[in-house]
Amino acid sequence: MRRILIVDDEPKIHQEFKKTLRPVSQEWSIEYAASAKEALNTMSQSSYDVIVSDMQMPEMDGAELLGIVMELYPETVRIILSDHSDNETVLRSVKSAHQFLMKPCDADTIKHTILRTCKLQDLLRNKELKKVITGIKELPSFPTMYGLIIKEMQSPDASLKKVGYIISQDVSMSAKILQLVNSAFFGLPRKIVNPQQAAIYLGIDTLKALVLSIHVFSSFPEDSKLYGFSLSEMWRHSMMTGRLARDIVRIEKADKEAEDEALIAGILHDIGKLILLKAPDQSGKVPDFAEDSGCSLVEAEYAVLKTSHAELGAYLLGLWGLPDNIVETVAFHHYPSKLIEDIFVSLHQASSKTEAKTSVTGLKPHSLKKLLKGVSTLTAVHVANSLLYQKDFTYDTTVFPHVDMLYLRTLNLAEKLPWWAECCSKVRSEND
């Protein structure tokens, strides 16, 4: 049973939560605290999956409370409730809160946010890695990009256009900015998937605060490696995957929004590898297992870690509230056939009287309709990632060892591979 702790100093809010969450009371154990001090005392006696805290409380506000929870109980998912007058305080909680919800918050939003979070937790069987992810304050950025953003922000005439471009060229910066701009705090009518658009929405003052005062970005050493590969190689592969995924969607005549989504999903698809840098004791065993067994690194991750960088990245992005399509793509970018399996399992298990509202990953099963219609974000990113791992193409190439051919045949897209391979060759030549 999931354990949820609600923290608010107004009894009326407690009553509203009890009414809102009554339908899930048999699945979740929900407790309430009237202050930060009471919440910390309660958490010292028992563990909780999720804490939802109001921002404005006497003695200790929500930002400070969640900061302490992050240090003492890193495995707990942290959600902040706020209103538009809390701009400065909300920015203080960027490092400690996974998601931001606006007050007053409707019942469906609260239930969906907590349910999605709990479902995402089911992606990971490794409890230690769950702690690593929920305890993350920031992810390291590519050193060159980190240097450029600091320099631009310290300039007296910092350009929002330049800042947006720098952010869009870095995996970690893109993810963090999209986390904030897509939060309920900004109340945007639709999800933003373009980091440059996100920078415009946030504005130069907010970005300066995030970079120079709150320090939401950091840099990894130039010689950092994972599985023997430099992180600069990972950064290059991520950028190329995003561009190729965008090109694949573009030639299928999708709209600009679909292109942007494919681009950012491709850039973020390997973000889980940055998480593995924070767990060297566990991830360090992966390459040895791969070498001894002759399997791929992804297969070795499942054998050693009971999960892979794909699920790790999806879990983090899901916690940060990024759009479902991007989370879904990151989770299944190696084995997209498994998504179709999960959707059918979810639909099969649904009661005949109730609609299946979420799949195994906490995402909506109407994703199947998107998969069967044209080239989805998942399809584009999977193909882009797989083709970039394939060294050479010729005009008569018919074998694509890294592509999930069952998946493409199911979607009647396998015959498009030779054309997509030509796109891959073009992206490679542009980046040589």
Ordered by where they begin, the domains of the chain are 2-121 (3.40.50.2300), 143-219 (no CATH), 225-431 (1.10.3210)
Name the pLDDT band for 379 (thresholds 50, 70, 90).
very high
pLDDT tens-digit series, residues 238-263: 999 999 999 999 998 778 899 999 99
Mean pLDDT of 380-409: 86
- Give the residue from 319, 361, 354, 314 showing the smallest Cα distance to 334: 314
Kindly provide the residue ranges of all beta strands, DSSP E only, lying in 203-289, ordered along the sequence.
218-219, 225-226, 229-230
pLDDT on residue 122 = 73
Kindly provide the residue ranges of all beta strands, DSSP E only, lying in 152-308, ordered along the sequence.
218-219, 225-226, 229-230
pLDDT at 370 over 50: yes
Share of residues in the chain with pLDDT > 90 (%): 49
User: CB pairs under 8 A, 24+ apart, for 184-189?
Assistant: 184/99, 184/100, 184/101, 184/102, 184/105, 184/109, 185/82, 185/84, 185/90, 185/100, 185/102, 187/84, 187/102
Token couple for 227: 């599985």
Q: Is the dihedral of CA 81, 97, 366, 29 positive or negative?
A: negative
Residues ≥6 apart with Cβ < 8 Å to 206: 91
pLDDT tens-digit series, residues 79-114: 998 875 556 766 778 888 998 888 777 767 777 888
pLDDT on residue 130 = 87
- Give the residue from 113, 116, 100, 93 showing the smallest Cα distance to 187: 100
Label residue 60 left, alpha or beta by phi (over 0 means left) and psi (-120 to 50 means alpha): beta
pLDDT on residue 365 = 46
- Give the residue from 62, 182, 67 showing the smallest Cα distance to 135: 67
Name the pLDDT band for 121 (thresholds 50, 70, 90).
confident
Angle at 202 between CA 198 and CA 206, to 5 degrees: 140
Calpha distance 232→355 (Å, rounded): 45
Token couple for 249: 């969607």
CB 92 within 8 A of CB 214: yes
pLDDT, the chain, mean? 86
Instruction: Read off φ and ψ for residue 100, nearest 5 degrees.
Output: -125, 125
pTM: 0.87
